Amino acid sequence: EDQVTQSPEALRLQEGESSSLNCSYTVSGLRGLFWYRQDPGKGPEFLFTLYSAGEEKEKERLKATLTKKESFLHITAPKPEDSATYLCAVQASDRGSTLGRLYFGRGTQLTVWP
Amino acid sequence: KAGVTQTPRYLIKTRGQQVTLSCSPISGHRSVSWYQQTPGQGLQFLFEYFSETQRNKGNFPGRFSGRQFSNSRSEMNVSTLELGDSALYLCASSFAGGPNEKLFFGSGTQLSVL
């Protein structure tokens, strides 16, 4: 049973066309929800951590929000350089030890074309 | 400040061989986690080390092992390689691996088993 589900699997946007990526989770005892960006051939790069429902964080064209069961990554007026795979991960206390462990979704592959 | 360094970048091995991967964490970080990334399963947690002790372990067979040295550098070993071990192996570091700590990833070692 997947604990973290991301949708859509792939998304193609024209430059400037805003959209949202979804991350839903089924764990309880959420300690934190993390968003990462991964470029081809590289490791994930940290974007945001959200801790409680209602929390929002922004960085340039990205804004992450959190509810009790899901998180959204909103991309406003994206540019081609925003093309990457966006990964969502959770740390939860109901799955045993959390030390160094994140549960990742499969990611959303975003392509922004000029 | 240097990031997480993984060596080698690429490896090609044949079935039945063993392999050792190396990871140098960010200076001052004492927790090192290892993840396996495949197209089918996404990122899966292998194990976490802190102060030369394995504190957390994922659901992988005993062929997968690791260790950490006194300078926090870590190695991961896979014995009796199988075709299904072909993957990107990612190392991540954090200050202490505790709850809510974000992980900093290296670029990974791409292992191909023929």
Token pair for B35 = 């993840």
Is B26 in CB contact (< 8 Å) with chain A? no
Give the whole-number percent of chain B exceeding pLDDT 70: 99
Where does the pLDDT of residue A95 fall: very low under 50, low under 70, confident under 90, or very high at 90 and above?
Answer: low
Q: A60 or A30, which is more confident?
A: A60
Contact A89 B58 (CB under 8 A): no
Using the predicted structure, report yes or no on whether residue A96 has a pLDDT greater than 60. Answer: yes
Where does the pLDDT of residue A1 fall: very low under 50, low under 70, confident under 90, or very high at 90 and above?
Answer: low
Is B104 in CB contact (< 8 Å) with chain A? yes
Q: From the CA of B59, how many Å to the nearest CA of chain A?
A: 12
The confidence score (pLDDT) of residue A2 equals 60
Which residues of B are less than 8 Å from A46 in CB distance? 102-104
pLDDT in tens, B4-21: 999 999 999 999 999 999
Q: How far apart are CA B38 and CA B4, in angstroms?
A: 20
Which residues of B are less than 8 Å from A64 in CB distance? none
Q: How far apart are CA B36 and CA B43, in angstroms?
A: 6
Q: How far apart are CA A4 and CA A31, in angstroms?
A: 14
The amino acid occupying position A27 is V
Do A31 and A88 contact (CB within 8 A), yes or no? Answer: no
The amino acid occupying position B56 is N
Where does the pLDDT of residue B100 fall: very low under 50, low under 70, confident under 90, or very high at 90 and above?
Answer: confident
Mean pLDDT of chain B: 95
- Paired with A83 in beta bridges are none
Do A32 and A91 contact (CB within 8 A), yes or no? Answer: yes
Task: Point out the residue among B43, B56, B104 whose CB comes nearest to the CB of A99.
Answer: B56
Which residues of B are less than 8 Å from A44 in CB distance? 43, 90, 105
A94-101: average pLDDT: 70
Phi, psi torsion values for A54, nearest 5 degrees = 95, -15
Kindly provide the residue ranges of all beta strands, DSSP E only, lying in B1-114, ordered along the sequence. Answer: 5-7, 10-13, 19-24, 31-38, 42-50, 53-57, 64-68, 74-78, 87-94, 104-105, 109-113
Do A73 and A85 contact (CB within 8 A), yes or no? Answer: no
- The span from the first CA to the last CA of chain A, in angstroms, equals 38
Do A60 and A81 contact (CB within 8 A), yes or no? Answer: no
User: Which of A91, A101, A102, A106 has the highest number of chain B CBs within 10 A, making it the mutation to test binding with B?
Assistant: A101
Which residues of B are less than 8 Å from A91 in CB distance? 99-100
Token pair 């959190």 in the structure block, residue: A66
Q: How far apart are CA A112 and CA A114, in angstroms?
A: 7
Contact B100 A103 (CB under 8 A): no
Using the predicted structure, report yes or no on whether residue A90 has a pLDDT greater than 60. Answer: yes
B24-35: average pLDDT: 96
Torsion of CA A27, A30, A31, A34, to 10 degrees: 70
pLDDT in tens, B45-67: 999 999 999 999 999 999 999 99
A29-44: average pLDDT: 93
Task: Point out the residue among A49, A101, A105 whose CB comes nearest to the CB of B48.
Answer: A101
